[in-house]
């Protein structure tokens, strides 16, 4: 298991324990637990879906860039990055929600693999005493080393190891066959270690949990696939098959939405890749659930069903296909509006040019007719000549006017 996942498994374990405490049924508890985890991570899924829808919105424009720069890959990549940056679309923004969901998934698996710790909340000292009680007997080998005596009703050292993620599931499989030993080993613990609870009560809690894993005469603590192969078909195969079918349904719905958002002229081979994923993922889920305990398969079934429902809900909120179609319609509308604007502008310019030409022609005709009838003299020359004539007439008037007699001429006349 990934280091540090146990820290995440602690709060998740309390959620599972809460449901099991009030419901008392492992199947319903696992389903409700998975539902709560899905609901908690739904905002991350919604954010990832929105980013996918944003990329779908740019798909028509990206396709036009691919056609325009089909022979210049470097220029195409540059234009694509400019478009993403302009529209505020991140190509890696959807990775973080996916990574967080994967971390949570590992935490959930850690909870499923430890039903005793998470469902009964038995103290660690009591649990370790129980493991010691079901340990295989040992003997001295031929070379003097201590070896274990194989016993199907006991657990080997490797099965009891902390590194074995199935150790608690293995303990539940053999606890009823070692009832008295388990009670005796727990009784040897101090009252404080047992938290003043009797050894019999602890055993009854674990045995009750073991019975909850019963499934049509089998136990969910076992793997559907065993050493007998196809000859060992049992009821647990139903869980593995249902897990594969629900995984296929979830992948089919998800791929249907993805294909609807893609262009038919998308990248060559894309459809083959999608079809391969549609087959590979369910087969992988089928293989895993055959190889892990049936209890884990129950979680996979619940997770697949809720994933299918979540995919439908997310695509109702942000449907990449509809967003892509709307983006294409908006582009066509903008293009039509732009063409109409160009047409109106061309008509307006044509009218202005026609009016200007008509005005110039009318002015030219008017000048031509006036020049033929009476050529005009410059206004400044006419004014100068008029001024000279007025000055000449004024001078002539002064010369011809009689001069008045002075006092000297009067005195001269009297003396004569």
pTM over 0.85: no
Residue 65 lies in a domain: no
pLDDT, tens digit (0-9, with 9 covering 90-100), for 142-171: 777 888 888 999 999 999 998 888 899 899
What confidence category does residue 413 fall into, taking pLDDT thresholds of 50, 70 and 90? very low
Q: Per the domain annotation, does 283 fall within a domain?
A: yes
Q: Is 83 part of any domain?
A: no
- 180 close to 133: Cβ distance less than 8 angstroms: no
- Residue with the larger pLDDT of the pair 401 and 322: 322
Enumerate residues 6+ apart whose C-beta is below 8 A from 192.
none
Q: Is residue 208 part of a domain?
A: no
Domain residues for the domain of 333 are 221-343
Contact 17, 121 (CB under 8 A): yes
Residue 174 lies in a domain: no
* pLDDT recorded at residue 101: 67
Over the chain, what is the mean pLDDT?
Answer: 80
H/E stretch holding 340: helix 320-373
Alpha helices (H) in 58-198, listed in sequence order:
59-68, 73-87, 95-112, 115, 124-133, 157-160, 167-174, 179-187
Higher pLDDT, 144 or 77: 77
pLDDT exceeds 70 at position 3: no
Q: Is the pLDDT of residue 412 over 50?
A: no
| pLDDT tens digits for range 349-389 | 888 888 888 888 888 887 777 665 555 444 554 555 566 66
- 252, 244 Cβ separation under 8 angstroms: no
CA distances from residue 253 to 215, 271, 274, 308, 313 in whole angstroms, order as listed:
30, 15, 12, 7, 12
* H or E element that contains 332: helix 320-373
Quick: pLDDT tens for 308-353. Answer: 999 999 998 888 878 878 878 887 888 888 899 988 999 898 888 8
The answer to whether position 98 is within a domain reads: no
Would you say residue 232 lies in a domain?
Answer: yes
Token readout for 247 is 């995984």
CB atoms under 10 Å from CB of 409, counted, come to 9
> What is the chain's length?
416
Report the number of distinct structural domains present in the chain. 1
> pLDDT confidence of 238, banded at 50, 70, 90?
very high
With a pLDDT cut of 70, the percent of the chain lying above it is 81
Per-residue model confidence (pLDDT) at position 34: 86
Between the alpha carbon of residue 235 and those of residues 229, 282, 354, the distances in Å are 14, 20, 91
């Amino acid at each position: 298991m990934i280091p540090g996942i146990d820290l995440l498994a602690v709060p998740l374990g309390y959620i599972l324990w809460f449901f099991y405490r009030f419901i008392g049924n492992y199947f319903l508890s696992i389903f409700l637990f998975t539902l709560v985890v899905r609901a908690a991570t739904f905002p991350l899924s919604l954010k990832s879906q929105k980013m996918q829808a944003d990329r779908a919105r740019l798909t028509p424009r990206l396709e036009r860039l691919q056609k325009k720069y089909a022979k210049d890959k470097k220029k195409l990549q540059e234009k694509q990055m400019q478009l993403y940056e302009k529209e505020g679309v991140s190509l890696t923004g959807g990775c973080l929600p996916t990574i967080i969901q994967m971390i949570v998934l590992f935490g959930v698996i850690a909870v499923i693999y430890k039903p005793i710790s998470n469902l009964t909340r038995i103290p660690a000292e009591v649990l370790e005493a129980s493991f010691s009680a079901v340990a295989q007997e040992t003997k001295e080998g031929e070379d003097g080393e201590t070896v274990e005596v194989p016993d199907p009703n006991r657990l080997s050292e490797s099965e009891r190891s902390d590194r074995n993620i199935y150790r608690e599931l293995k303990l539940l499989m053999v606890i009823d066959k070692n009832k008295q030993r388990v009670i005796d080993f727990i009784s040897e613990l101090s009252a404080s270690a047992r938290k003043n609870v009797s050894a019999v009560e602890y055993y009854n809690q674990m045995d009750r949990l073991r019975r909850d894993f019963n499934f049509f005469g089998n136990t969910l603590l076992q793997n559907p696939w065993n050493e007998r192969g196809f000859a060992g078909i049992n009821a647990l195969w139903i869980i593995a098959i249902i897990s594969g079918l629900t995984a296929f349904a979830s992948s089919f719905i998800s791929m249907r939405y993805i294909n609807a958002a893609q262009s038919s002229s998308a990248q060559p081979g894309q459809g083959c890749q999608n079809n391969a994923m549609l087959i590979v993922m369910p087969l992988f889920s089928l293989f895993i659930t055959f190889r892990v305990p049936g209890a884990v398969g129950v979680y996979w079934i619940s997770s697949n069903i809720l994933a299918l429902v979540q995919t439908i809900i997310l695509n109702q909120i942000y449907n990449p296909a509809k967003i892509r179609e709307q983006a294409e319609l908006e582009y066509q509308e903008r293009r039509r509006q732009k063409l109409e604007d160009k047409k109106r502008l061309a008509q307006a310019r044509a009218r202005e040019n026609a009016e200007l030409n008509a005005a110039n022609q009318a002015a030219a005709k008017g000048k031509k007719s006036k020049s033929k009838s009476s050529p005009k003299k410059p206004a400044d020359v006419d004014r100068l000549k008029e001024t000279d004539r007025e000055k000449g007439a004024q001078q002539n008037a002064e010369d011809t006017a009689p001069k008045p007699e002075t006092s000297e001429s009067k005195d001269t006349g009297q003396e004569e």
